[in-house]
Amino acid sequence: MKMKFSQRNRLLTLAVIIVPVLLMISCESVLFIELEESDKLIVVNGALGQDSIVAVQVSRTRHILDNAPLVPLENGTVRLYREGALLEELGYADNGYYTSASFTPTTGEQYTIEVENQGYPSVSATCEIPEAVAIIAVDTATVEMEYGDFYYSYVQEEFHMDVSLEDPAGEENYYLITAMADRSFTEYRDTTVMVLDSLFQNGKWYPYVKDSTYTISEIFRFTENVYIGSSDLIVEAITGDGILFSDQLIDGKKYSVRVTTWTDNLMSADSAMVDVRLHSISESYYKYLKSRQKHYESVDDYLSVPVIVYTNVEGGTGFLGGYSTDVYTFTTFVPEFHRDDYYYFEK
């Protein structure tokens, strides 16, 4: 009886394992779904800046599964209007960009871009250039921050910038903070000078080569955007374009926004010139940047709700925004190789 009972248990165990596997295999099937391609539309992307020559990029939409590069439209007709009056027809430059010959927008005025291209519905977009808001001051500090987990920690230097502004009261304002640094690096070159000499020994002169190596260095300057972050209460998004926020919590108030970067981003062979830029941006520009960042953050999250990127282009897609800028410049010096490495310690 024991033998039969043991054999029965083995058979039951095998059944429990095999039956689900067979069910899983039998339920597998390959589905081929044909997605109809919607009509292609014109895409217009452009930010019109105070005292910057007008330029917009024109391309077309692609199929949802199309991974091909951007398709610029090179034969379009692009017109620029100010307050409804035609200013000029933009000329084609390169890679889908259409630019003005010399026109630069001014604050407080409304501009419209109209685009026509054979085979596509015509599109238009309108934006306004907001007034610039001044940076009152930028206070800086270098802070050692400790990071890590339960077992290990490391210390890294942060460069803090408190950007102070006074928000105009009674109106909706939108801001973007960026930073740019003019810094330098040292390039070393080893130059060996061959020096001939001679030695007198036992009544004879013996020539020989004496090597002398001199280190020559040159300093080269360059300008680049500085990656910045922030954990400030009013900051709504950290985008590839900069730190984005509105005046929803600071309407009509003076406020200092804490902006941070690594000290490594400001290292220089000599002093570095840092430009902190406060861009006052239009509502359309703000909504586009904010929704685009949410879209980027949800791309690999299969449980997130799909995000539709904002557009103000009628008849097509893309965005047209306006901005004006105030710049605050200061000088700092973070020496090259000021730290060979970051120090780690075990908790």
Greater model confidence, 231 or 217: 231
Q: What's the pLDDT score for residue 15? A: 61
145 and 60 share a domain?
no
Question: Given pLDDT bands bounded at 50, 70 and 90, which one contains residue 344?
Answer: very low
pLDDT at 160 over 80: yes
CA–CA separation, 294 vs 284, rounded Å? 16
Question: Any idea of the CA torsion for 270, 273, 274, 279, to the nearest 10 degrees?
Answer: -160
For residues 270 and 333, the answer to whether their CB atoms sit within 8 Å is: yes
Strand partners, 89: 79
Q: What's the pLDDT score for residue 21? A: 61
Residue 80 lies in a domain: yes
Residue 253 lies in a domain: yes
CA–CA separation, 49 vs 56, rounded Å? 11
164 and 232 share a domain?
yes
> Comparing 96-105, 195-204, 265-274, which segment has the lowest mean pLDDT?
195-204
54 and 114 share a domain?
yes
Quick one: what percent of the chain has pLDDT higher than 70?
A: 80
* Pairing mode, strands 135-148 and 123-128: unpaired
Cα angle vertex 177, ends 161, 142, to 5°? 15
pLDDT at 281 over 70: yes
Q: What's the pLDDT score for residue 13? A: 65
Q: Report the mean per-residue pLDDT for the chain.
A: 85
Residue 59 lies in a domain: yes
CA–CA separation, 271 vs 250, rounded Å? 34
- Using one digit for the tens of pLDDT, what is the confidence trace for 239-264? 999 999 999 999 999 999 999 999 98
Domain coverage including residue 169: 135-184+224-308+323-346
174 and 246 share a domain?
yes
pTM beyond cutoff 0.95: no
180 and 192 share a domain?
no
Please report, for residues 172, 284, 299, 305, 308, the alpha-carbon distance to residue 294 in angstroms, rounded to integers and kept in the order given.
Answer: 22, 16, 9, 10, 9
The three-state secondary structure class of 27 is helix
115 and 164 share a domain?
no
Q: Quick one: average pLDDT of 265-288?
A: 95
163 and 62 share a domain?
no
152 and 194 share a domain?
no
Q: Residue for token digits 């390039």?
A: 187
Greater model confidence, 173 or 154: 173
Question: Given pLDDT bands bounded at 50, 70 and 90, which one contains residue 192?
Answer: low
Structural domain total, the chain: 3
For residues 338 and 293, the answer to whether their CB atoms sit within 8 Å is: no
* 235 closest CA partner among 244, 227, 226: 244
Helix %, strand %, coil % of the chain (to 5): 15, 50, 35
Q: Quick one: average pLDDT of 300-327?
A: 91
CATH number for the domain harbouring residue 163: 2.60.40
Q: Quick one: average pLDDT of 48-69?
A: 86
CA–CA separation, 208 vs 172, rounded Å? 81
